[in-house]
Amino acid sequence: MSLIPFRTKRTSGMDTGNLMSLGDFRNEMNRLFEGFMSRTTALAPSWFETIEPGQWMPTIDLSETDTQIRVRAEVPGIDPKDVDVSVSGDRLVISGEKKSSSETSGEGWSHCESHSGSFSRTIPLPESVDPSKVTAKYDKGVLMVELTKSPSATSRKVPVLTK
């Protein structure tokens, strides 16, 4: 007697040659999840760096106006002296090192943990910028980088001449 009331080919007139058994279905789902979990950046565009296990990558927001590009990066717990910002061509590079340690002790015991790791985030810029007019400000774990577009990158209206 079957616990699951499936109709078979004999009782329903259906062709079951294309149907999977529950075991096959489970194996296929396990294969899909293992493949998904082993990928470093699932469905990420090719210009994102891959993230190795244990590596940390700050999240960013990018906004643009007619004259500026603003990048907001969340870098909590990082000393501003450990953050580097550079512009190279059409790319903004934010890199740094995160260091933290904690120590707890009591009567007859002590617990100490240290965490550290470096990061580097390369952001392709949608327009060319003037490297001399880049500013970076750090406040409460948030890095704000403002990049002024170069004059050649700003748009201008071109009048249409008639004869």
Q: Per-residue pLDDT tens for 106-152?
A: 888 988 887 777 888 888 887 788 888 889 999 988 999 999 888 77
What amino acid occupies position 95? Answer: S
Q: Which fold has domain 60-149?
A: Immunoglobulin-like (2.60.40)
Q: Per-residue pLDDT tens for 9-43?
A: 554 455 555 566 788 888 888 887 776 655 544 44
pTM check: above 0.85: no
Q: Where are the domains of the chain?
A: 60-149
Segment 89-113 mean pLDDT = 86
In this structure, the number of other CB atoms found within 10 A of the CB of residue 96 comes to: 22
pLDDT at residue 41, as a whole number: 43
Nearest-angstrom CA–CA distance, 163 and 99: 68
